[in-house]
Amino acid sequence: MIRELLRYLEAHQAEMRADLRRLVCEESPSDDPAALERCADVLAERASELTGGRVTVIAEAKGPHLDIVVGDDPVPPVLVLGHFDTVWPLGTIGTMPYRESDDVARGPGVFDMKSGLVQGLWAVHALTTVTGRPPPVRLFLNSDEEVGSVRSRPLIEAAARSARVVLVLEPSLDGALKTARRGGGRFTVSIRGRAAHAGLDPGAGRSAIGELARVVEYLHSLSDAARNTAVNVGVVSGGTRPNVIAAHARAEVDVRVTTPDEASRLEALIRGMRPSRDGIELDISGGFVRPPMPRTSEIGALFEQARDMAREIGIELREAAAGGGSDGNFCAALGVPVLDGLGAVGGGAHAEDEHVSLSAMPARAALVGAMVAEAGSAGARQTIS
């Protein structure tokens, strides 16, 4: 099967490249609803043409999502996830244009993750053409992944509960598929002290910035390389003038963990912080926005299946654990097997050297198609309550 898919996709590589150019040039920053709508329109049109599926545009004020159901099964057993929002502001295409040189394509969002979207749509198209029938698969493409998927998370989880397998079109890690991901948390520590004149009456004050320094030192001490836990205070603010004891200060904190137990432990430690002296108040908000995705035996089995398929076309796949999270984390937390990193081969995510390998696109699309065919033929899993 995968060899037939690869032959078909290699014969249509020029069309895949044209789709990639069009999609990258249709900029789609997470915070621009109008741009997201334009990109969604392009995707919806092309998804309809390539998959023949029922394309539903889920309209939202901050940006639409696309729900694409292919085949006759009203509840397809395979869920494919992707996102079309990017971190790049509108107008980046003018200073960082789409361009191809030999085997490399560059441009804003080309690696994370518009190449993966093209590969996913063409995987379904190739599978339909080669087998003569549309596969039972659902593709959900959201517009807020880069900002935490707050709006789309309930929709993703609802789709995952009725899926047997979830395949994620996020880019690979130097070619490796992702079988584990760290979970991520965002916390804000707001500190209230007491203002006073720094020269005339400093003893009457309670410095929020002084407390902030203590808090930052404590939070950074929670990082633990042995546990693969990272805590970083990335943004701080506070005070009004140099001659005023600061009455307010604030810290924004990023937390990364590998297991649900570690997430619970870190959240308890952060929320358990107390002021160091009278006259200081701490307010701690936020929490974990993505649960960890540890490697399970089911995820391992999915990878082994993908590795065996890839060997048929001369590719030796590797697996890796990723430091960041994706929408696959939400699905794995529900107990659904997830295989991530099935998208682009390249690098430079969120950086000016973002790039993809054009020659790798047909093979990666063929792998996605073969995985969809295998998971779809196994039948739907029972719905998770």
Which residues are 181's β-sheet partners? 293, 322
Range of the domain at 136: 2-181+293-377
Quick one: pLDDT band at residue 376, thresholds 50, 70, 90? Answer: confident
270 & 305 share domain: no
Q: What is the CATH number of the domain that holds 270?
A: 3.30.70.360
Total structural domains in the chain?
A: 2
29 & 171 share domain: yes
52 & 159 share domain: yes
- Is the CB of residue 43 less than 8 Å from the CB of residue 120? no
73 & 175 share domain: yes
Residue 382 lies in a domain: no
Q: What is the CATH number of the domain that holds 37?
A: 3.40.630.10
312 & 325 share domain: yes
170 & 25 share domain: yes
**329-342: pLDDT as tens digits:** 999 999 999 999 99
Q: What are phi and psi of 64, to 5 degrees?
A: -85, 165
End-to-end CA distance of the chain: 34
pTM of the model: 0.90
Domain end (from 234, 256, 290): 290
132 & 255 share domain: no
213 & 297 share domain: no
Q: Cα–Cα distance between 73 and 354 in angstroms, integer?
A: 38
Q: What percent of the chain has pLDDT over 70?
A: 98
72 & 158 share domain: yes
- Which residue type sits at 2? I
Residue 385 lies in a domain: no
What is the rounded average pLDDT of the residues 83-104?
97
Residue 113 lies in a domain: yes
**292-348: pLDDT as tens digits:** 999 999 999 999 999 999 999 999 999 999 999 999 999 999 999 999 999 999 999
Residue 384 lies in a domain: no
What is the rounded average pLDDT of the residues 354-364?
98
Residue 174 lies in a domain: yes
pLDDT number for residue 385: 34
SS (H, E, C) the chain: CHHHHHHHHHHCHHHHHHHHHHHHHCCCECCCHHHHHHHHHHHHHHHHHHHCCEEEEECCCCCCEEEEEECCCCCCCEEEEEECCECCCCCHHHHCCCEEECCEEECCCHHHHHHHHHHHHHHHHHHHHHHCCCCCEEEEEECCHHHCCCCCHHHHHHHHHCCCEEEECCCCECCEEEEEECEEEEEEEEEECECCECCCCHHHCECHHHHHHHHHHHHHHCCEHHHCEEEEEEEEEECCCCCECCCEEEEEEEEEECCHHHHHHHHHHHHCCCCCCCCCEEEEEEEEEECCECCCHHHHHHHHHHHHHHHCCCCCCCEEEECCCCCHHHHHHCCCCEEECCCCCEECCCCCCCEEECCCHHHHHHHHHHHHHHHHHCCCCCCCC
**172-224: pLDDT as tens digits:** 999 999 999 999 999 999 999 999 999 999 999 999 999 999 999 999 999 99
173 & 146 share domain: yes
173 & 61 share domain: yes
Residue 16 lies in a domain: yes
Residue 384, pLDDT > 70, answer: no
pLDDT number for residue 236: 98
Domain end (from 261, 290, 319): 290
317 & 275 share domain: no
Vertex 289 angle, CA 80 and 232, to 5°: 125
Residue 383 lies in a domain: no
Domain end (from 256, 290, 324): 290
pLDDT number for residue 383: 38
Residue 187 lies in a domain: yes
**211-256: pLDDT as tens digits:** 999 999 999 999 999 999 999 999 999 999 999 999 999 999 999 9
